[in-house]
Amino acid sequence: MYRSHNCGELTAAHINQTVTLAGWVQKSRDKGFVHWVDLRDRYGITQLVFDESRSDNAVFELAKTLGREFVIQATGKVIERESKNANMATGDIELLVTELNILNPALLPPFTIEDDTDGGEELRMKYRYLDIRRSPVRNALLFRHTVAMAVRNFLSAQGFCEIETPYLIKSTPEGARDFVVPSRMNEGQFYALPQSPQTFKQLLMVGGMDKYFQIVKCFRDEDLRADRQPEFTQIDCEMAFVEQEDILNVFEGLTRHLLKELKGIEVDKFPRMTYDHAMKTYGNDKPDIRFGMEFGELNSVAQHKDFGVFNSAELVVGIAAPGCGEMTRKEIDALIEWVKRPQIGASGMVYVKCNEDGSFKSSVDKFYDQEDLKRWAEATGAKSGDMIFVLSGGAHKTRTQLSALRMELATRLGLRKPEEFAPLWVVDFPLLEQDEDSGRWHAMHHPFTSPKPEDMKLLETDPGAVRANAYDMVLNGNEIGGGSIRIHDKATQQLMFKYLGFTEEEAKNQFGFLMDAFQYGAPPHGGLAFGLDRLVAILGGQETIRDFIAFPKNNSGRDVMIDAPSPISPEQLKELNIKLDLK
């Protein structure tokens, strides 16, 4: 036995007991005749004391040689501390060490192993095993485990069965995002790594498993944006004999359970919002509703004067920034520059200051009188002391721009509180969206999503207007889960592939196995998938998901610690019957 206790459990109740601890040297303090060491493990920190008068001389001298992060084993008597530390679980006691054993020395770490470290991100990723010793990262990994266990136990109790689906699956020609895996046993052929277990979970429904879930890795070989991983984890679920309402109820229940169990927060029944409403009110299909700042459409009250910019716009839309009436001209100009950055893309911005006396001062006073501006204030819900910001242009683009501004202002105003949780459902998503360049329609969710029966007739005439039985769960401005009721008959699925531009041949080659399955008695079914990484980060009150992943990859998809990916050996290539095209 290396230890009798861990470094987080000794209290006054253990005084006078002889114990053995093992762990890492967090830091040392030396006072000449007394030497203290903070010993750390996963469970906490315990103070070791070495005393010239009370410790064996060899032990005392050895203690003075201990460097940071040395791995040691210490035996001694638990004694009461002279200066207690109420902030530490073990703050009432210390260990008067009689035996000391260096289990492994350590080089000086390249950054400090403290809550606030001096290490930059790339360095901490290279030495991830040291980063994990820091309590924010350690606690994040422990929290992730707690979330995953809570999800599993909740779903199991509801009759869901976790079923593993394969990782080595079929590669699809459209799968530009598929990672492919050459097979040694089947020369010249490739598997793909799944972007999701979608078709397999549908087959499990055809197979009568009724309620499936899986916490499962998914893979996407695409340009990574910050905080997105080439391998990511999904809570993947599917149910048979259900309508949308059944699914929303079950997974709303799951999220309420997690908020209650993990955060001690009770939330009301989730509000539901159509996609159209979300876009019109927040310019976004994943609105953060922890705060207001809802869009006010101003076309009717801004297009009757001589202001050509507004008159020629498809949409004039504004928001009221609460309490921002006192912004300086310089601050306003900086904000106008902010919306004009290429990432946002606005061509300009109009502002209206709502004075405390009920009057208004705007950047377009030349065109609009106080009565006009009062109507703008009514439309945006602005109060005295607020500032209204107005954008105009093409409807979709302008909404997206104003949404970015809304989120930025809310962040600056401290309205996006990490420990406040405002979930909602966004429903009635469009079935299809049009590629701007090619004009081709593709599935907004995926090709297995069912259209609303009443909209089927629009498929030929107005594809963009067809709504799907699709829904997203949104939490604090993030889509944390999404799903749909699926198509479950071959004819409709075939029709869908046709509308998506598949030839009959392509559809059959790629998804024939699924359409075949639908002919052998497929039940109505639907489901959803949560992004575990994102869910854990939000519940953990963080913006970044990387801290919640033990071994994340950087923005180039590289694991800098183990140097992966790396060149493959010529022998491996040869055996796989492929070669690198070294142009």
- Binding site for L-aspartate: what residues are annotated? 174, 220, 445, 486
The least CB distance from residue 202 to a second copy, in Å, is: 9
In DSSP notation, 332-364 reads HHHHHHHHHSTTT--S--EEEEE-TTS-EEETT
Does residue number 136 form part of the binding site for a second copy (CB under 8 A)?
no
In DSSP notation, 188-214 reads T-EEE--S--HHHHHHHHHTT--EEEE
Of 84, 138, 396, 440, the one binding a second copy by CB under 8 A? 138
Calculate helix-pair angle for 504-518, 198-206, nearest 10 degrees.
40
CA quadruple 367, 373, 379, 380: dihedral, nearest 10? 100
Which among 57, 24, 55 has a CA at the least distance from the CA of 42?
Answer: 24
Interacting residues with a second copy between 476 and 505 (CB under 8 A): 488-489
Cα–Cα distance list, 572 to 186, 371, 376, 547, 567 (Å): 15, 76, 68, 34, 10
256 versus 558: smaller Cβ distance to a second copy: 558
Per DSSP, what are the bridge partners of residue 293? none
The least CB distance from residue 262 to a second copy, in Å, is: 14
Does residue number 125 form part of the binding site for a second copy (CB under 8 A)?
no
Does residue number 203 form part of the binding site for a second copy (CB under 8 A)?
yes
Of 58, 82, 83, 208, the one binding a second copy by CB under 8 A? 208
Residue 453 near residue 466 (C-beta atoms within 8 A): no
Q: Site mask, a second copy, residues 535-574, x = CB under 8 A?
A: --------------xxx-x--xxxx-xxxxxxxxx-xx-x
382 versus 514: smaller Cβ distance to a second copy: 514
Of 32, 82, 87, 107, the one binding a second copy by CB under 8 A? 107
Interacting residues with a second copy between 332 and 351 (CB under 8 A): none
Interacting residues with a second copy between 213 and 272 (CB under 8 A): 217, 219, 221-224, 230-231, 233, 241-243, 246
Which residues 6+ apart lie within 8 Å of 263 measured at CB?
Answer: 419, 421, 539
Long-range contacts of 85-90 (CB under 8 A, 24+ apart): 88/44, 88/45, 89/8, 89/9, 89/11, 89/44, 90/7, 90/8, 90/9, 90/10, 90/11, 90/44, 90/45, 90/46, 90/47
Interacting residues with a second copy between 440 and 469 (CB under 8 A): none
Interacting residues with a second copy between 149 and 178 (CB under 8 A): 149, 152-153, 156, 161-171, 173, 175-176, 178
Does residue number 13 form part of the binding site for a second copy (CB under 8 A)?
no
68 versus 305: smaller Cβ distance to a second copy: 68
Interacting residues with a second copy between 301 and 320 (CB under 8 A): none
Interacting residues with a second copy between 499 and 538 (CB under 8 A): 513, 517-524
Of 38, 92, 94, 131, the one binding a second copy by CB under 8 A? 131
